[in-house]
Structure 1
Amino acid sequence: MTGKRGRPSAAERLERHERVVDVVIRMLIDHGYDAVTFDRISAEAHVAKRTLYADFGDRSGLVRAAVRRQHPTDPSAGDLRAAAIEIIAHLLSDEAIGIHRAIIAAADAALAAEFYDEGPARAQRILADRIPDPDAAPILFAALLGEPHRRRLLGLSEAPDAAQVEAHVDATLALLELGPVRRAHSD
C-alpha cells in the first residue's frame, strides 16, 4: 500500500465524509435503505469500516448524514425568502426525493423519527427563526412543500428549475402575507 501514514488532515477528513455521504445517498436512491450496510459503504467509499463506525456510529448515523445534506446548515444566514428557496430547492431535488422514498419504503418507525428530526423538523426550525409567529412554521413548511413535493414523490413531475422554485416560494409567502407579491416582468 502506498498511501501516506498518520492522521488525515481536516480537509482529508471532510473529503472522506463527503465521499461516504455521496455513497450512502446513491445506495439509498438506487437500492433502498437495506442496501446501506457498513460493508457496502466501506467498499464503495474506500474507507475502513472502523473509520465509518467512528465517524457515523451506526447505520442510522449514515442516513442522518445524508438527510442533513438536504437542509441548510446555518440557520442564522439569509432572510425568510432565501432560506425557503434553499430548503425547497433541496427538498424537491432528485436526490432528496430518492432519500425520502427510501425512508418511506424502509417502514421503520425509529428511522422515520430520525429522518423527521434531521429533515422536516430542522427545516421548520430554520423557518421559525425568520417569521413573526414561530409556531406557524409547520404551516409555512407544509404550504411551501405541498403539492409540488407530493407530485415529485409520486414521480408525476420533474425537479423544478431555480426560477420555478423562486416563483413557488414567492407565491406561497405572498399568499401567507409573509413576503411581497412578486410579479414576473413581461418584456
Structure 2
Amino acid sequence: MTGKRGRPSVSEALARDERVVDVVIALLTGDGIEALTFDRVAAEAHVAKRTLYGVFGDRTGLVRAAIRRQHAYLGDAGDGSSDLRSASRAILLHLLGDEAVGIHRAIIAAAALHPSLAQEFYDEGPGRAQGFLASHLRAEAAVSPELLFAALLGEPHRRRLLGLAGPPTPEEVDAQVDAVLRTFGLLR
C-alpha cells in the first residue's frame, strides 16, 4: 500500500476539496444532476465516500460547493474594496462563463424533480449575488439589487443559457455593465 495514512494537512485537504469540486462541476455540466452520485464523485476524485460525506454532507452540499466556486467574488462583499461597477463586472465575468452556465442549465433541468437543489442554487447563487450588489449600492439608489441583477444578466445570460452565444469578452462585459448602470443613473 502506498500513500500516507491519517489526517491530511490543511493544504492537502484544500487540494482534495478543489479536486472534488472540479469533478462535481464536470459531472453537472457534462451529464446533469443525475450523474452526481457519491459513488461517481468518489471514484473520479479519488476520495473515499466517507470523506465526501464528512466534508460535503450530501448531494446538496456538493452542489453548494460548486455554486460557491462560481461566486468566488463574494469574498469581497462589503469590504469596501470595489465599487458598484467593479462588483457588477465581477458578477458578469463569473456568471457568463462556461462553468456557471453549465451548472445553471443542470439545475434548471432538475428543478422540478429536486426543488431543494433549486432552492439551494438560488440562495447560494442569485440570492448571494444580489446581496453583494446591495452592499455596493448607495442607500439612495432608485433600483433594487434584484432588478439590477436581472438587468445586468439580461439578454447575454439568456443567450448563453440557450447556447446562442459564447462567453463574452471583457469588453462586452464592460459595455453591458456600463449600459445597465447608466440606465439606472448609477454611472455617469
| Alignment TM-score > 0.5, same fold | yes
Residue 149 (structure 2) aligned to one of 135, 141, 144:
141
Match of 2:107 among 91, 103, 127: 103
- Contact residue 70 and residue 90 of structure 1 kept, 8 A: yes
Under a length normalisation based on structure 2, what TM-score does the superposition of the two structures give?
0.92
From 148, 164, 172, the equivalent of 1:156 is 164
Rounded to whole Å, the distance in 2 between the matches of 1:78 and 1:33 is 35
Deviations 1:60-101 (A, max 9, x none): 100011011111231124221111111111111111111000
1:71-90 matches, within 5 Å, as 71=71, 72-74=73-75, 75=77, 76=79, 77-90=81-94
Within 5 Å, give how 1:8-87 maps onto structure 2: 8-71=8-71, 72-74=73-75, 75=77, 76=79, 77-87=81-91
Offset of residue 17 of structure 1: 0.8
Question: What root-mean-square deviation, in Å, do the aligned CA atoms of Structure 1 and Structure 2 show?
Answer: 1.3
Question: Under a length normalisation based on structure 1, what TM-score does the superposition of the two structures give?
Answer: 0.92
Q: Which runs of 5+ in 2 are unaligned?
A: none
Query: Unaligned 5+ residue runs, structure 1?
Result: 181-187
What do residues 99-131 of structure 1 show as CA deviations (whole Å, max 9, x unaligned)?
000001112211111100000000000000011
Rounded Cα–Cα distance in structure 2 between residues aligned with 1:6 and 1:79 = 45
Offset, 1:6: 2.4
After TM superposition, the runs of 4+ consecutive aligned structure 1 residues lying more than 4 A away are none
Identity percentage of aligned residues: 62
Mapped to 1, the partners of 2:109 and 2:13 lie a distance apart of: 31
Structure 1 CA distance, aligned partners of 2:106 and 2:28?
6
- Looking at structure 1, the residues matched to 187 and 173 of structure 2 have their Cα atoms a distance apart, in angstroms, of 15
**2:154 counterpart letter in structure 1:** G
How far residue 21 of structure 1 moved from its aligned partner, in angstroms, is 0.4
> What CA distance in whole angstroms lies between the structure 2 residues aligned with 1:150 and 1:79?
26
